[in-house]
Amino acid sequence: MRSKPESIKETSAVTENVALLRWIDESARLTKPDSIHWCDGSQGEYDSFIHQMLKDGSLVELNQRSRPNCYLHRSHPNDVARTENLTFICTQEKETAGPNNNWMSPPAAKERVGKLFDGCMRGRRMYVIPYLMGSAGSPYSKVGIQLTDSLYVAASMHIMARVGNVALAHLGTSEDFVPGLHSVGDLSPDRRSILHFPEEKLIWSIGSGYGGNALLGKKCFALRIASYLAMREGWMAEHMLVIGLEDPSGQVTYLAGAFPSASGKTNLAMMVSGMEREGYKVWTVGDDIAWLHIDEEGQLRAINPEAGFFGVAPATSDATNPVAMETIRRNTIYTNVALTPSGEPWWEGIGSDPPEGLIDWKGRTWSKFEGKAAHPNSRFTAPASQCPSISPHREDPRGVPISAILWGSRRSTVVPLVMQAFDWQHGVFLGSGMGAETTAAATGVVGIVRRDPMAMLPFCGYNMADYFAHWLKIGRQLKKPPLIFRVNWFRRDPDGHFLWPGYGENIRVLKWILDRVRGTGKAKETALGYLPAPGAIDTEGLALVPGAMEELTSVDKAGWLNGVKEMEKFYNQFGERLPGEIWDEHRKLKERLERL
């Protein structure tokens, strides 16, 4: 290495990893920070980050008696959600990225965005964040190194990943790490780009300090880069929660569920079971991302690569999600929520009325004529270890064995409460054609139905046709493939009311799924798949409107025929590349519907 910036010389003792030092050196020459700080991941370091942010005004202290170690961050008003239109997959061939991704050629991307990085950290400090995705000592864990000029990002990474020496020790002298260069730049959406170079395992992100745009371990690495690596290496990186479902005998069965952003993963993962007294309880393994591997016995196993939760605040309450409410009582960073005069965080649906003198997410006194006080995509960042329902197996190096996979999305109409795929291939097809209503987790119109295969549309780092082929291939390698289900907690009546109570009562659906895994649950065979037989889902004690269950478990022929057309349009984009099995299943579904 030629002349290193002074600060790298001073601190390079923390690692001898030449490849790592070389990349940091290159990045520092490009971005030209005044100084460099190597993160060790310690509590003292976290505390000093918080202290600095309180001083520079980027954090507001919350009431330390009721919310010890909790703080509020307000992001720039134009930087409040992932920006899918500014997110790119940069592969040599455009076809590798596929029609579902924005694409730039790697040289063009580097030329264009390199100019923005040039000198962008002048007057700022660069934080070097070595982080481990997955638990220490797991063969499935992977190392990322994020460089950032944002203290908020550095503090958030402390919560969301395993930061510091644990990562450097895992890496040793290996070159097998995912470098991620991040700068908030000038925060202008005109100069914002989130770039992924899967072929060189590299991430470049500039112009945003928010969530999935900026915490590079999350969607950028653990989904977009990892999904590409997984395709090459024979495993899967999925946008999935993982839970353990305990039955009255104490046996725990693990389920993984892919739901699009802001569609119920965190809530399902932390669910307080409505059937706890009958002995059914949910354990939280993960709430957003799962890495799935096939073990020596041909069993699919899942790890949660993350160490924290970056959860949606609005509608989280003691009634809907008491486990989350307990998890976020301490050591939590809140982003873009409202603030009460007594220093409490507040959001729509928290379960109390907005108090007099409420400050909105932009820091202004709120009046009820001004819309929402908390941003609809306001979030909490909290350590997973604080979650009362955290699974004792969360950090098992081999992960937990998966018995069932759920596809879930928001659909006000058409899609039943639950249905089971006939087999793996049919299940992959149902996932590939999943329609979902868009949410506030990404910028853009909310509430329109789009195809969101496996909840991965914004997160698949390569051509989705190849991704479907990969899913089919994995199924062929599994000794006993997990059963696949489609669920939908979000059906509404014509007046817009939810037909199903959701949240903790979703346990009733999970129990049917468990019964199906065990071969005891009663089902009727339909054009869509297996639907629960009348009475197979226990509804005792629920205040359902008359006929709700009937509507939630019947086949909407016209609605599905329309869906079949939408799928066809979606699949047509992939041309010859779409696996024949997907077209076969599509044709079979259409024929079954037409026979009705």
List of residues contacting ligand GTP (CB under 6 A):
259, 261-267, 287-288, 311-312, 314-315, 320, 441, 489-490, 498, 502-503, 506
Beta carbon of residue 456, minimum distance to ligand SPV (angstroms, whole number): 11
Residue 502 interacts with which of ligand SPV, ligand GTP, Mn ion, none, CB < 5 to 8 Å by class: ligand GTP
Residue 264 interacts with which of Mn ion, ligand SPV, ligand GTP, none, CB < 5 to 8 Å by class: ligand GTP
Residue among 152 and 310 whose Cβ is closer to ligand GTP: 310
238 binds ligand SPV (CB under 6 A): no
Residue 259 interacts with which of ligand GTP, Mn ion, ligand SPV, none, CB < 5 to 8 Å by class: ligand GTP
Residue among 311 and 461 whose Cβ is closer to Mn ion: 311
Question: Which residues pair with residue 216 across a beta bridge?
Answer: none
Of the residues 67, 192, 201, 218, which one makes contact with ligand SPV according to CB under 6 A: 218
Beta carbon of residue 239, minimum distance to Mn ion (angstroms, whole number): 10
Surface-to-core class of residue 522, CB atoms within 10 Å of its CB (0-12 exposed, 13-18 middle, 19+ buried): middle
**Which residue, chain included where needed, has tokens 């100069």?**
191
Nearest to 294 by CA among 518, 427, 481: 481
Judged by DSSP in three states, 147 sits in strand
Distance CA 114, CA 116 (A): 5
Q: Which amino acid is at 19?
A: A
Residue 154: C-alpha distances to residues 61, 208, 214, 308, 317 (Å): 18, 14, 10, 14, 28
- Rg of the chain's alpha carbons, rounded to an integer? 24
- Contact yes or no for 403/518 (Cβ under 8 A): no
Residue among 311 and 399 whose Cβ is closer to ligand SPV: 311
Residue 211 interacts with which of Mn ion, ligand SPV, ligand GTP, none, CB < 5 to 8 Å by class: ligand SPV
Tokens representing 162? 């395993």
Contact residues for Mn ion, defined by CB under 5 A: 265-266, 311
Beta carbon of residue 260, minimum distance to ligand SPV (angstroms, whole number): 7
261 binds ligand SPV (CB under 6 A): yes
Residue among 228 and 310 whose Cβ is closer to ligand SPV: 310
Window contacting ligand SPV (CB under 6 A); options: 211-219, 290-298, 358-366, 413-421: 211-219
- Contact yes or no for 81/442 (Cβ under 8 A): yes
Q: Which amino acid is at 455?
A: A
Beta carbon of residue 450, minimum distance to ligand GTP (angstroms, whole number): 15
211 binds ligand SPV (CB under 6 A): yes
Extended strands (E) in 384-452: 400-408, 418-420, 435-437, 449-451
Residue among 75 and 253 whose Cβ is closer to ligand SPV: 75
Q: How many residues bind ligand SPV (CB under 6 A)?
A: 9
Distance CA 426, CA 484 (A): 9
Residue among 266 and 304 whose Cβ is closer to Mn ion: 266
Residue 437 interacts with which of Mn ion, ligand SPV, ligand GTP, none, CB < 5 to 8 Å by class: none
288 binds ligand SPV (CB under 6 A): yes
Distance CA 206, CA 204 (A): 7
Strand order in the sheet with 379-383: 60-61, 71-73, 333-335, 379-383, 308-312
Residue among 324 and 537 whose Cβ is closer to Mn ion: 324
Distance CA 355, CA 63 (A): 15
Residue among 179 and 311 whose Cβ is closer to ligand GTP: 311
- Interface ranges with ligand SPV (CB under 6 A): 82, 211-212, 218-219, 261, 288, 310, 441
